[in-house]
Amino acid sequence: MNLLIALARFLIFPGLLFAVPAAWMVLWLERKSVALLQQRIGPPFGQPFFDFIKLLAKETPPRSGINGKLMRAWPLIAVSASLGAVGLLPVLPARGGFEGDLILLLALMELPAICLIIAGFSSRSLFGEIGSAREAVLLVSYNLVFLMAVVSIAVSQHSFRLEALAAAPLSAWRYLGLLAILLCLPAKLHVNPFSLPNAEQEIYSGPMTEYAGFELALWQLSHGLEWIAGVGLVAALAIPSSAYVWLDVVSVLFVGFILVLALSLIAAATARLAIDTTVRFYWQCTLIFAVAAISSALFMRLRS
């Protein structure tokens, strides 16, 4: 990939310049739609941005017995990884990418969750540790399905290049894989019924209990960017490439918007599940989609 294109993708579109406002927009859209479904007014437009600015102005209180630099490093890594993941999204067809960028994307999408787990344990807070333990169990639960679903799509196209996957013609098997990815998204984005790690009524903010000010602002931004990366991946793989770049971009944005609304609807309609039920849901119920997707992809590959 040309270095200039790579930089433009990372810094302009779909990276930094687009992704950061889009992350705030998605966070607002999710909160607002859940509020409207519950007959509440919800936050005014741009509230996540104002929250970010407000948190930047706040001081982080001194935390005894905690390595401050380490605590600051985790949200920074999480934001960087999420931004990198968004920058790799194949929104603009034939504009870059390299062989194996899907693997890099998956790794970058996992990093924020791993950072969150370590941050919770680093904070030496009881609530943080419980939240981190829950996040770790959640990660193990949904990732098996998520990775199998992504690999099934890659195997069916004989490529681990995102651009090739986005440009490939759609098939029923691919939709099976996308369905499995969609089932994992609520857990990946910590929305109901899988909001275990940050269950406010039980463990305050979980791993983020000890965070405040600038660091908390970074965590919130990272969460918004995770939304963009997760929803953007599904949207980019679900929309067939067209001859017009602008049409592809608009289609991906539109599908992303619909996905955010659908996830908000699920969040408003469900209550939080217990951790054992969550594990059972993914390992017993959802795994079947991933297994069907990967076995069908392998079968198609063997036939061709």
Partner 1 sequence: MKIFTLLWNNLRRGVATFRYPSAPPVTEGFRGLVHFDPLRCSGCAMCRFRCTARAITFESAGKQYTWAYDPAQCTFCGRCVDGCKDHALSQDASCPPIYLSAGSLRSSFTLQRRTPPPKSQPAPSTARLQAGGDHESRE
Would you tell me which residues interact with partner 1 (CB under 8 A)?
36-41, 265, 268-270
Q: Is 287 helix (H, G, I), strand (E, B) or coil?
A: helix
Q: CB neighbours (10 Å) of residue 281?
A: 19
Residue whose C-alpha is closest to residue 107's, from 71, 150, 73? 150
Q: How far is the CB of 234 from partner 1 (least distance, A)?
A: 22
Q: How far is the CB of 40 from partner 1 (least distance, A)?
A: 6
- Smaller CB separation from partner 1, 4 or 271: 271
| 175 Cβ contact list (under 8 Å, min separation 6) | 238
- What are the phi and psi torsion angles at 41 (to 5°)? -75, -40
CA distance 266 to 155: 30
- Smaller CB separation from partner 1, 138 or 267: 267
Q: How far is the CB of 268 from partner 1 (least distance, A)?
A: 6
Cβ atoms of 211 and 75 within 8 Å: the answer is: yes
- Smaller CB separation from partner 1, 76 or 261: 261
- Smaller CB separation from partner 1, 107 or 265: 265
Q: How far is the CB of 1 from partner 1 (least distance, A)?
A: 44
Cβ atoms of 124 and 66 within 8 Å: the answer is: yes
Q: CB neighbours (10 Å) of residue 96?
A: 20
Record the tokens describing residue 293, joined without a space: 């997707």
**6-19: buried (b, 16+ CB within 10 Å) or exposed (e) per residue?**
bebbbeebbbbebb
Q: How far is the CB of 277 from partner 1 (least distance, A)?
A: 17
Q: How far is the CB of 264 from partner 1 (least distance, A)?
A: 10
Total residue count of the chain as it appears in this document:
304
Q: How far is the CB of 269 from partner 1 (least distance, A)?
A: 5
- Smaller CB separation from partner 1, 60 or 270: 270
- Smaller CB separation from partner 1, 17 or 285: 285
Record the tokens describing residue 248, joined without a space: 């592809």
Please count the CA atoms within 13 angstroms of the CA of 18 that sit on its side-chain side.
Answer: 19
Q: Is 194 helix (H, G, I), strand (E, B) or coil?
A: coil
- Smaller CB separation from partner 1, 97 or 193: 193
Record the tokens describing residue 196, joined without a space: 């275990």
